[in-house]
Structures are given as structure tokens and as C-alpha cells.
Amino acid sequence: MMMKYKLFTGICCRLYSASIVSMNGASHRHFCSSFLTDISSPETTVTVGSQTYARDEMTNVTPHILSKVGSNLHNRKYHPLNLLKQRIRDHFYKNYVKPRGNPIFTVVDDLPPVVTIEQCFDSLLTPKDHVSRKPSDTYYVNKDHVLRTHTSAHQSDLIRMGCDQFLVIGDVYRRDTIDKSHYPVFHQCEGVRLFTERELLISKFSEQDMEGLTVFEQGPRIPAKQAPHTQDAVVLLEADLKWTLTRLAHDIFGKDIETQWVDCYFPFTHPSWELEIKYKGEWLEVLGCGVMEQEILNEAGAGNKVGWAFGLGLERWAMKMYDIPDIRLFWSQDSGFLSQFKVDDANTPIKYKPVSVHPQCYNDISFWIPDNYTENDFYDLVRGLGSDMVEQVELIDNFTHPKKGQTSHCYRITYRHMDRAVHQEEANKIHALITEAAINNLAVEVR
Ligand code: FA5
Ligand code: MG
């Protein structure tokens, strides 16, 4: 018989009400990890975060995929996706401001990933037979709900709420192939910018030159434009969109980045483009974008405005930015990976250095330090004795006794070799040598 699983996750949410997760009768607000529990009841429901949904014939989410929900890598301190999110957010905050200096873009990064079919597909004019709706491509919670396949799922709601410029950052889910640049859970940043006729024209023309120009007309729908838009409107929107994204790419990757625009199709934009960048000698698609379908704006109550939208894949940008060779690394719990991104300033340049494929093992050492002690003396001592076997030494506790005034340090030493496995017994032997040398050479008092 199949095991029944219940997934508990807490998803911190700003626009929706904050979720409260109940475990063993207790309430936990903002409980941010996820785990699976055997509930041994007939498999009639599926629980994602604080919500329980009725299972039906469409349900195809797996415990493995559900275990990723609530990870929120983009909101995890010191994670590369979080550093990139900060860079993108700061770019928009800094460069797009109202006359008094406050940012025009609203940033939303905590919307839960379960959305309705209406949000994910219908509101975006996705045809009923479009491949993205197929259960072969999409994780269905049930026939009415999916794990969002893209952050575009929130466009309509936010516009209806009155947002004219916004970024939505979140985890998205697809039954996609797995290779170096594809993963079934990844993260997107959506961007939307709406303009009234006047706002769009004034961005390029003086008050006099604007006269006689319009953004709306009733013309034919052709490859270059939608029926209700003028050619002028599309030229201005395309220029503004591509300029905005090129400027972002230059800020994140530097001015030397090689880019190219490719025409493409999305049900929710027309015309549409993809941006590709050179990555390890090949073109890599890093975002999709276009002029928003006017029908979407009309339906969301913004029919007097025109707009552009884009959706970029955070992992692909981070791979290029940090030289990360494989998309699976973003899910690594390995301190050899994570410690490379432990910076308080997101602008710190980082180039990822590959860590060993062999497992880590670690031992802690605690001692009272003498007056003339410096941390670097200890690091040198470890380097000398551990050489290639030591991957990292981290001060994990720094404590001063309130009465004695004596200070104790606890270090975690992570043992791992680049080329071969290090077993715990071998690590223990080196650790014993390090302990002995610390006592003899640095005059520390082991606790
Ligand atoms: C979309 O998801 C559209 N919603 C983007 C969009 C938004 C277009 C607004 C127009 C207006 P696409 O499926 O191409 O488009 O995905 C966008 C980006 O997500 C890709 O360019 C890529 O960078 C990234 N991406 C797509 N699939 C994966 C995957 N399996 N793993 C990692 N990144 C992916
Ligand atoms: Mg694409």
C-alpha cells in the first residue's frame, strides 16, 4: 500500500493572510521549513502549507515536490538566490523613482505557490489546449489548483489591486527535464510596468511633439502589434522594455556581457521576445517578455493603460553571475557551497569554487583562550596539520564567563578532501592532533 503523506509548511505571506501551521495541536506562525508526516488516513486530501485540498483524478503532485514547498530559497539569508534577489530589487529601487525619490516598483516575494487554474492559465489567455496546462507538464494539486508554473500567475490580481509597477519573486514548479540548466523547482522574477497614454508618451516626447500621438486605435492584429495598439505605442513599449532589461543585465553581469534578442510567443504578450546570454560558449535563454495583451489589462480594470511584462529565471542569472556550473547546486545543504555566499553586502563579487563531491564530516573543539590568543594562530595550526583534508574552520561560539571573565571559543572543523573520501575515524585522528597542538603551542585550555 502506498504511504500517505501530509506536508506541513508555513509560508510567510504579505498580501494573503499570514499562515498559521498547526502541529500536534500547537500553533506556529512563520514556521519556515517543511517535512512530511505519515497520516495513515485514506488518501483523499493533499496538504500544502496551511491549506488542505481535496484530491481528485488530476492530482499529480509528489511527496518529493511537496517537500520543496516552503523552502523559499529566494528569502533565505546568504543563499545565492537571495543575494541575486537583493541585487535585482535594489536595481529597480535605485533607478526607477518618483520625483521625491521613493521607488515606483513594489516588490512582492512571499505569495504562496498554490494558485488556481484561473490565475495560472485562464487570466493569462492561455488556450485550453496549450501544452503548459497538460498534467504531463504541470503539477496539479487538484483539478482547480496547481503549483504555479510561472510568476505570471499573479499579474492579474496585482493589477486589479491597483499595482502599476511591480516585481513578483517566487518558487515555480514544472514537470520539466532535469539537466544542468533545468530543474522541476526553480525561481522566477516577474516584472510588470503599466503606463497611461500620457506617461508613455512623455517618456520620449516633449509636450508639443506629443500632440496628435495616441497609443490606442482599432486596427488589425499583425505580427508587429495587437489590434487595439498603435505602432507608436509598440515602438515605445518595446524600446522601454528592452532598455530596462539590458540595463539590468549590464548592472548584474557587467557591460561586456554578450546578449541577443529572439522573437517568440507567449499567450499573454504580443509581440514577445526572449533574451539570451552567452554562457560557457553557448546561448542560454534567461527571460521571456513582451507587450501585455490588452485584454488582460481590460479584464483587470486597467483598460486605460498599456504595459510590458517580463519573467526571468533566477537560477540561470545566478549561474552566470557566480559561475555556478549546475542548477542542482542551489539545493545544496553543503556548507562548502553555502559558505561561499555568506556575505552581508549583496554587491560583493563572488566566483564559485567547486567543492569536493565526497561527503563532509566535522568535529567541534572548544577551549578557553589565553590573553595573547589570536584566531589566525589557530587557523594556521589547523592548516598546517589538516592540510588538504580540512575544508572549513568556523567559529561557532564565542562565550565570556560572567564571573571569571575568561573567554571560550568553539570551532567547527569540516573535514573533506577534494579527491577522495575522508572517513570519520581519519578525521578523528587529525582532530586529536590538532587538539594536542593547540594545547601545547597556543596554551589553550580545552573544555
Ligand atoms: C515564462 O515562464 C513566462 N511566464 C515569462 C514571461 C513573463 C513572458 C511575462 C512574458 C511576460 P518561460 O517558460 O520561457 O516563460 O520561462 C522564463 C524563464 O524561466 C526562462 O527564460 C528561464 O530563464 C527560466 N526557466 C524556464 N524553465 C526552467 C527550468 N526548468 N529550470 C530553470 N529555469 C527555467
Ligand atoms: Mg522560454
Q: Please give the number of the atom of ligand 1 that sits closest to the Cα of 285.
A: 21
What pLDDT shows up at residue 15?
27
Report angle CA 382, 386, 387 to the nearest 5 degrees.
105
Task: Give residue 170 CA to ligand 1 midpoint distance, Å.
Answer: 12
pLDDT of residue 208: 87
How far is 255 from 117, CA to CA, in rounded Å?
40
In the three-class reduction of DSSP (H, G, I as helix; E, B as strand; rest coil), residue 426 is classed as: helix
Q: Which amino acid is present at 322? A: Y
Backbone angles phi, psi at 101, to 5 degrees: 100, -5
pLDDT digits (tens, 9 = 90+) for 197-250: 999 999 888 888 888 899 999 999 999 999 999 999 999 999 999 999 999 999
What whole-number distance in Å separates Cα of residue 241 and Cα of residue 309?
A: 8
Residues composing the chain: 447
| Residue labelled with grid coordinates 557587467 | 254
Cα separations (Å) of 151 from 123, 156, 240, 263, 311?
13, 11, 21, 21, 7
Distance CA 305, CA 302 (A): 6
Compute the mean pLDDT over every residue in the chain, rounded to the nearest whole number: 88
For atom 26 of ligand 1, which residue has the closest CA?
Answer: 313
Residues in the chain, pLDDT under 70:
1-42, 177-178
pLDDT digits (tens, 9 = 90+) for 294-353: 999 999 999 999 999 999 999 999 999 999 988 889 999 888 899 999 999 999 999 999
Pocket test for ligand 1, best of 150, 272, 310 (most atoms within 8 A of CB): 150
Which ligand ends up closest to the CA of 320? 1
Residue 231: name the closest of 244, 213, 247 by CA: 213
Q: Is 269 in the pocket of ligand 1 (CB under 6 A)?
A: yes
pLDDT value for 178: 67
Name the residue of 88, 149, 306, 316 to mutate for ligand 1: max ligand atoms within 8 A of Cβ.
316
Q: Across-strand partners of 7?
A: 36
Residue 181 alpha carbon to ligand 2 centre in Å:
12
For residue 191, the ligand 1 atom closest to its alpha carbon is 9
For ligand 1, atom 25, the nearest C-alpha belongs to: 313
- Alpha-carbon span 106 to 93, nearest angstrom: 9
CA neighbours closer than 13 Å in the CB half-sphere of residue 285: 11
Res 364: pLDDT: 97
Where are the extended beta strands (E) located within 314-360? none
Ligand 1 pocket: which of 149, 188, 268 to mutate (most atoms <8 Å of CB)? 188
Q: How far is the CA of 196 from the centre of ligand 2 (A)?
A: 29
Tell me how far apart the alpha carbons of residues 137 and 141 are, in angstroms, rounded to a whole number.
13
Q: What is the pLDDT of residue 204?
A: 85
Domains and CATH numbers, the chain: 51-328 (3.30.930.10), 356-446 (3.30.70.380)
Residue owning the nearest CA to atom 19 of ligand 1: 313
Confidence at residue 9, expressed as pLDDT on a 0 to 100 scale: 28
